[in-house]
């Protein structure tokens, strides 16, 4: 170890001091996130600059504080006649990897979206994650706000269901460019499981999820006696189970998604129907911030 410290031009003591400082800094940011969550629950629409003025953290500047808040899903929540659930921007934008893509198996593309549901004059939100090939909803979460934690919870549910610790860059996670999906905590979770990140640039780039949103809300939830947020949680779990296990899909040979996943296990990949993904090519990666040469698809037939 002495040789390593010498090669790095440092000492054991200096290295320990650096590790301690990093640990302390991480603790500060964890505390800051907890304080932001508490403040945002009290002040849903207060700007991050004003929240900085309220909290007065002494270890971070205002601009870095605003960036931290945006990256972790604490941007202001505004009321709309129909709520705007995607707050797009160039921060951590990723290219759309689905252009001209045809898939042939589950766990090649997961798509996620946020939709809204009104209960007694108050908007609530629903996060869904769907496997595009089987149309199975893998993860879901109802929330009373647009904080990133709901998306994290839905993603964790999908990961627990599939029980694949690492996807070796063979799985694409597709979404819009909402701040929740661009947040540091969400993108780090995807990178941790070696899941590639894809983002669309118009509503047409996530048409499959728009269809699932419509089915869950208009074929199921709107017909339930939902009078509270807890009713929404109860019926959402029930209805997604019905959607996955009982509802026939015309594009799946009138099988339910879970039945279809069992069915294709006995079909060789070379004989499976290829599913083309429709995207809005008029907006093809216009706001691309990453080198496209590093984002080429590598889907290999076994």
For residues 290 and 296, give the distance between their C-alpha atoms in angstroms, rounded to a whole number.
11
Please classify residue 41 by burial: count the beta carbons closer than 10 Å to its beta carbon, then call 0-12 exposed, 13-18 middle and 19+ buried.
exposed
pLDDT of residue 92: 56
Q: Are 109 and 171 in contact (CB under 8 A)?
A: yes
How is residue 213 annotated by DSSP?
Answer: H
Helix axes 48-55, 12-42, angle to 10 degrees: 110
Dig out the tokens for 116 from the structure: 């809204």
Edge-first strand listing for the sheet containing 109-119: 137-143, 122-131, 109-119, 172-175, 196-199
CA distance 181 to 206: 14
Tell me the CATH architecture of domain 102-294. Answer: 2-Layer Sandwich (3.30)
Q: Among 184, 177, 141, which Cα is nearest to 160's?
A: 141
Does residue 128 contact residue 154 with C-beta atoms inside 8 Å?
yes
3-state secondary structure of 115: strand
Residue range 265-298, pLDDT digits in tens: 999 988 898 888 876 655 554 433 333 333 333 3
Give residue for tokens 């007694």: 120
Which residues in the chain are classed under CATH 3.30.420.10? 102-294
Residue ranges of the chain with per-residue pLDDT less than 70: 1-19, 21, 24, 45, 77-92, 202-204, 279-302
State how far the Cα of 210 lies from the Cα of 204, in Å rounded to an integer.
9
pLDDT at residue 248 in the model: 87
* pTM for this model (two decimals): 0.70
Residue 61 has which token pair? 């500047």
């Amino acid at each position: 170890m002495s040789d390593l410290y010498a090669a790095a031009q440092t000492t054991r003591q200096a290295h320990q001091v650096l590790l301690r400082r990093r640990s302390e800094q991480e603790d500060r940011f964890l505390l800051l996130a907890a304080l932001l969550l508490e403040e945002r629950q009290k002040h849903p629409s207060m700007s991050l600059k004003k929240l900085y003025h309220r909290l007065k953290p002494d270890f971070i500047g205002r601009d870095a504080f605003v960036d931290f808040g945006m990256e972790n899903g604490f941007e202001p929540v505004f009321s709309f006649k129909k709520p705007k659930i995607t707050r797009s921007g160039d921060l951590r934008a990723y290219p759309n990897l689905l252009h001209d893509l045809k898939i042939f198996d589950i766990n090649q593309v997961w798509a996620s979206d946020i939709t809204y549901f009104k209960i007694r004059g108050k908007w609530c939100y629903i996060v869904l994650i769907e496997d595009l090939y089987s149309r199975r909803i893998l993860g879901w979460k109802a929330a009373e706000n647009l904080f990133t934690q709901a998306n994290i919870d839905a993603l964790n549910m999908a990961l627990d269901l599939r029980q694949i610790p690492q996807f070796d860059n063979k799985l694409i996670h597709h979404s819009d460019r909402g701040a929740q999906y661009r947040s540091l905590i969400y993108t780090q979770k995807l990178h941790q499981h070696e899941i590639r990140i894809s983002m669309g640039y118009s509503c047409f780039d996530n048409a499959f999820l728009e269809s699932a949103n419509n089915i869950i809300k208009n074929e199921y939830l709107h017909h339930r006696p939902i009078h509270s947020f807890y009713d929404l949680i109860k019926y959402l779990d029930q209805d997604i189970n019905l959607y996955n296990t009982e509802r026939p899909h015309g594009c799946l040979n009138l099988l339910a998604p879970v039945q279809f996943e069992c069915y294709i296990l006995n079909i060789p990949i070379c004989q499976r129907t290829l599913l083309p993904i429709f995207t809005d090519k008029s907006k093809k990666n216009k706001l691309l911030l990453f080198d496209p040469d590093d984002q080429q698809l590598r889907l290999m037939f076994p």
